[in-house]
Structure 1
Amino acid sequence: MKLLHLDSSVLGAYSVSRQLSSEIVAREVALHPGINVVYRDLAADPVLHLSGTHLAAWQGSVIEDPALIADLEKGGNYMEELIAADIVVIGAPMYNFSIPTQLKAWIDRVAVAGKTFRYGPNGPEGLLSKNKKVFIAASRGSIYAAGSPAASLEHHDSYLAGLLSFLGISDITVVRAEGLASSPESKEAAISQALKDIAAIVA
Structure 2
Amino acid sequence: MPKLFHLRCSPRAASESSEGAEAFVTRFRQARPDWEIDVMDIWRESLPEFQGDVLEAKYARLGGREFSDAQRNAFAVIERMAMRFALADRVLISTPMWNFGIPYKLKQWFDLIVQPGLTFRFDPAQGYFPLLKNRPTIVILASGGDFVTGMNRGRIDMASPYLREILRFIGISDVRFALVGPTAGPAEPARLAREAAHRLLAEMAAGF
Taking structure 2 as the reference length, what is the TM-score of the superposition?
A: 0.84
Alignment of 1:141-180 (within 5 A): 141-144=144-147, 148-151=152-155, 153-180=156-183
The answer (yes or no) to whether the contact 1:25–1:89 under 8 Å persists in 2 is no
Residue 27 to residue 72, structure 1, CA distance change in 2 (3 Å): farther
Q: Secondary structure at the match of 1:104?
A: helix
Whether 1:108 and 2:111 are equivalent positions in the alignment is: yes
Q: Secondary structure at the match of 2:68?
A: coil
Aligned to 2:126: 122
Whole-angstrom distance in 2 between the partners of 1:143 and 1:80: 35
Aligned to 2:11: 10
In structure 1, the gaps of 5 or more residues are: none
How big is each residue's C-alpha offset from its partner over 1:13-54, in whole Å with a ceiling of 9 and x where there is no partner?
x21111112222223222222111111111122403312432
Whole-angstrom distance in 2 between the partners of 1:28 and 1:124: 35
How big is each residue's C-alpha offset from its partner over 1:75-113, in whole Å with a ceiling of 9 and x where there is no partner?
322111111001111111011111111111211222112
1:195 positional shift:
0.7
In structure 2, the gaps of 5 or more residues are: 61-66
Whichever residue aligns with residue 198 of structure 2, its letter is: L
Larger Rg: 2
1:146 positional shift:
8.4
RMSD: 2.3
Identity of aligned residues (%): 26
Q: How many residues align?
A: 196
- The one of 132, 135, 140 equivalent to 1:137 is 140
Whole-angstrom distance in 2 between the partners of 1:177 and 1:146: 11
Whole-angstrom distance in 2 between the partners of 1:150 and 1:104: 24
Taking structure 1 as the reference length, what is the TM-score of the superposition?
A: 0.86
Q: Secondary structure at the match of 2:53?
A: helix
